[in-house]
């Protein structure tokens, strides 16, 4: 994914925010973390441990860091100094979100004439795209920045574009930070009752691929990229930045931990807790999940 280029910021615009002193000015498009799959990022750096990683990142455009770390940063990076880089970065992030939200408010909804929206559903009054032959059920919520493509079915109580769980410090208090990304449902996705799909945190979209289906009470967190024809069973939790390949299967009450990759055609069995990459076509079970045959052999050995 790449950052939207219609709005760029200069670090000097935020001088004084969260105690920021600008050492070297420059442009950035989004606030984010090193793991954020977007370009032109302003990132926080609080420890020398991550200095080399920041310098090597092609996505980083600027850094908010402590005074003692600034000398080690690459000359291409904009640099701001703050006693608490994370808190300062959160304050800058919130201001960027506010400016981009004002931009989003100017986007009129585009809703196809063949879409059927239950009177009890709530569709935001701006920034929503709904394609042909979409059905949206009662008490569903569609937030700004959500795109629903042709033939999707969104059942009762589904929430699309709710906030992701990203905690920071704003005004000296611990809060869930505002977000500015979106959600996209590819054609013919079906989400059963009370499924929640969080918006991307810093930009881009949480995406669900064509003909993917999710059972009741599924949670798909911020920045996930779900492939085509994936089956996600009831009560599954797919946490932030997870990538799921085409035609994978995620069983009931399974948990897939942040940043994990699940290969195409892989199967995660009921109740598994996945903490590392799952190879294409693999079957994993258990807490923490291992190869399914190994899991069964272990269970037989201890029973």
Instruction: Give the lowest-confidence range in 3-7, 84-88, 277-281, 294-298.
Output: 3-7
Are 251 and 270 within 8 A, CB to CB?
Answer: yes
**Number of domains forming the structure of the chain:** 2
Question: Would you place residue 297 in the very low, low, confident or very high pLDDT band (cuts 50, 70, 90)?
Answer: confident
For 262, residues 6+ apart whose C-beta sits below 8 A from its C-beta are 242, 243, 244, 245, 248, 250, 256, 268, 274, 277, 278
Residues 130 and 247 in one domain: yes
pLDDT at residue 303 in the model: 66
Residues 114 and 81 in one domain: no
Over residues 112-148, the pLDDT tens digits come to 999 999 999 999 999 999 999 999 999 999 999 999 9
CA distance 177 to 90: 7
> Residue for token digits 């109580």?
157
Asked whether residue 245 carries a pLDDT value surpassing 80, the answer given is yes
Residues 48 and 176 in one domain: no
Are 49 and 30 within 8 A, CB to CB?
Answer: no
Residues 94 and 64 in one domain: yes
Phi, psi (deg, nearest 5) at residue 28:
-145, 160
Return the DSSP state at 60. Answer: E
CATH number at residue 126: 2.160.10.10
Asked whether residue 200 carries a pLDDT value surpassing 60, the answer given is yes
Domain assignment of residue 47, yes or no: yes
CA distance 271 to 263: 18
Which segments within 110-172 are labelled E, that is strand?
110-111, 116-117, 122-123, 129-130, 135-136, 141-142, 146-148, 153-154, 159-162, 167-170
Structural domain that includes position 194 = 110-302
Q: In what order do the strands lie in the sheet with 129-130?
A: 110-111, 129-130, 146-148, 182-185, 205-208, 225-226, 243-244, 261-262
Within a 13 Å sphere around the CA of 137, how many CA atoms are in the beta-carbon half? 14
Domain assignment of residue 3, yes or no: no
Which of 61, 77, 105 represents a domain boundary (last residue)? 105
Instruction: Give the number of residues written for the chain.
Output: 303
Residues 116 and 101 in one domain: no
Domain assignment of residue 1, yes or no: no
Residues 73 and 118 in one domain: no
Question: Would you place residue 4 in the very low, low, confident or very high pLDDT band (cuts 50, 70, 90)?
Answer: very low
Which of 81, 105, 129 represents a domain boundary (last residue)? 105
Instruction: Verify whether residue 222 is a known catalytic residue.
Output: yes
Give me the mean pLDDT over the 84-106 stretch: 93
CATH number at residue 74: 3.40.1390.10
Asked whether residue 293 carries a pLDDT value surpassing 90, the answer given is no
Residues 229 and 255 in one domain: yes
Mean pLDDT: which of 46-50, 95-99, 135-139, 172-176 is highest? 135-139
Residues 279 and 144 in one domain: yes
Smallest Cα–Cα separation from 164: which of 144, 179, 182, 145?
A: 179
pLDDT at residue 6 in the model: 55
* Long-range Cβ pairs for the range 69-72 (8 Å, 24+): 69/45, 70/23, 72/48
Are 227 and 210 within 8 A, CB to CB?
Answer: no
Residues 64 and 115 in one domain: no
Are 262 and 250 within 8 A, CB to CB?
Answer: yes
Instruction: Give the lowest-confidence range in 70-74, 102-106, 214-218, 297-301.
Output: 297-301
Residues 87 and 45 in one domain: yes
pLDDT at residue 213 in the model: 98
Mean pLDDT of the chain: 94
CA distance 88 to 169: 8
Give me the mean pLDDT over the 274-297 stretch: 90
Over residues 48-67, the pLDDT tens digits come to 999 999 999 999 999 999 99
Which of 89, 155, 188, 222 is flagged as catalytic?
Answer: 222
Residues 97 and 59 in one domain: yes
Residues 94 and 159 in one domain: no
């Amino acid at each position: 994914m790449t950052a939207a280029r219609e709005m760029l910021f200069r670090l000097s615009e935020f001088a004084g925010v969260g105690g920021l002193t600008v050492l070297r000015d420059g442009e950035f498009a989004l606030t984010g973390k090193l793991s954020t799959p977007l370009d032109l990022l302003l990132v926080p750096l609080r420890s020398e441990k991550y200095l080399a990683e920041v310098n090597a990142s092609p996505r980083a455009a600027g850094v908010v860091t402590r005074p003692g770390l600034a000398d080690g940063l690459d000359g291409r990076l904009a640099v701001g100094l703050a006693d608490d880089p994370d808190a300062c970065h959160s304050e800058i992030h919130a201001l960027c979100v506010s400016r981009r939200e004002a931009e989003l408010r100017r986007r009129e909804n585009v809703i196809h004439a063949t879409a059927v929206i239950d009177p009890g559903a709530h569709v935001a009054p701006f920034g929503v795209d709904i394609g042909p032959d979409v059905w949206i059920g009662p008490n569903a919520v569609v937030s700004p920045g959500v795109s629903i493509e042709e033939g999707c079915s969104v059942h009762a109580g589904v929430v699309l574009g709710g906030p992701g769980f990203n905690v920071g410090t704003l005004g000296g208090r611990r809060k869930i930070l505002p977000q500015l990304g979106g959600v996209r449902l590819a054609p013919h996705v079906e989400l059963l009752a009370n499924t929640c799909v969080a918006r991307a945190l810093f930009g881009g979209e949480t995406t669900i691929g064509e003909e993917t289906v999710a059972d009741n009470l599924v949670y798909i967190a911020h920045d996930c990229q779900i492939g085509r024809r994936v089956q996600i069973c009831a009560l599954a939790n797919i946490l932030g930045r997870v990538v799921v390949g085409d035609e994978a299967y995620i069983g009931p009450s399974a948990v897939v931990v942040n940043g994990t990759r699940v290969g195409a055609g892989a199967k995660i069995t009921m109740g598994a807790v996945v903490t590392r990459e799952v190879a294409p076509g693999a079957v994993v079970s258990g807490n923490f999940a291992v190869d399914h045959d190994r899991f069964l052999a272990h269970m037989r050995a201890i029973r």
